[in-house]
């Protein structure tokens, strides 16, 4: 039995640069989780991100008292779109900052446009 091909990964905006700026252990965790996603699995550190659209998830990585989030979309064509990556700096609670939600929403629209353009 052959293993399926991984879904292509598409980085939107500066998400790749942001992930590259994270500590090495965080990058490894995110890379492993993204590969699982590309192969059709849901990693344990992934959870749905509510309020934008279905099919948008976030990988939550905790390291050295900090929390890092990588947001991706899986229901846009056959690709996995990485929409945003950031270190959570909210003073309290788990709520994602408004500016990050705005960035995710904008990049989600960009990903939809990229997918539509590529199909033309």
CATH number of the domain bearing residue 43: 3.30.2310.20
Would 13 be classed as within a structural domain? yes
The model carries a pTM of 0.91
Would 76 be classed as within a structural domain? yes
What pLDDT, in 10s, does the model give residues 67-117? 999 999 998 988 999 999 999 876 566 678 889 999 999 999 999 999 998
Domain count, the chain: 1
Residue 111: what pLDDT?
96
Measured from the Cβ of residue 108, the count of other Cβ atoms closer than 10 Å reads 21
Residue 92: what pLDDT?
61
Would 32 be classed as within a structural domain? yes
Would 2 be classed as within a structural domain? no
Would 20 be classed as within a structural domain? yes
Would 64 be classed as within a structural domain? yes
Q: Which domain holds residue 80?
A: 9-119
Would 31 be classed as within a structural domain? yes
C-alpha–C-alpha distance, residues 39 and 45, integer Å: 16
What pLDDT, in 10s, does the model give residues 39-78? 999 999 999 999 899 999 999 999 998 999 999 999 898 8
b (16+ CB within 10 A) / e for 45-84: bbeebeeeeeebbbbbbeeeeeebbbbbbbebbebbbbbb
Would 77 be classed as within a structural domain? yes
Structure tokens at 114: 């990229």
DSSP-derived secondary structure for 29-64: HHHHHHHHHHTT---TTEEE-TTS-TTEEEEEEEET
């Amino acid at each position: 039995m052959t293993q399926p091909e991984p879904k292509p990964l598409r980085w939107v905006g500066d998400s790749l640069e942001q992930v590259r700026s994270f500590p090495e252990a965080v990058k490894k965790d995110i890379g492993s989780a993204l590969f699982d996603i590309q192969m059709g699995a849901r990693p344990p550190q992934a959870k749905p991100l509510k309020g934008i659209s279905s099919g948008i998830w976030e990988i939550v990585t905790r390291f050295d008292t900090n929390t890092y989030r990588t947001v991706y979309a899986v229901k846009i064509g056959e690709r996995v779109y990485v929409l945003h990556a950031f270190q959570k700096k909210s003073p309290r609670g788990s709520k994602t900052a408004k500016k990050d939600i705005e960035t995710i929403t904008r990049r989600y629209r960009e990903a939809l446009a990229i997918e539509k353009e590529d199909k033309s």
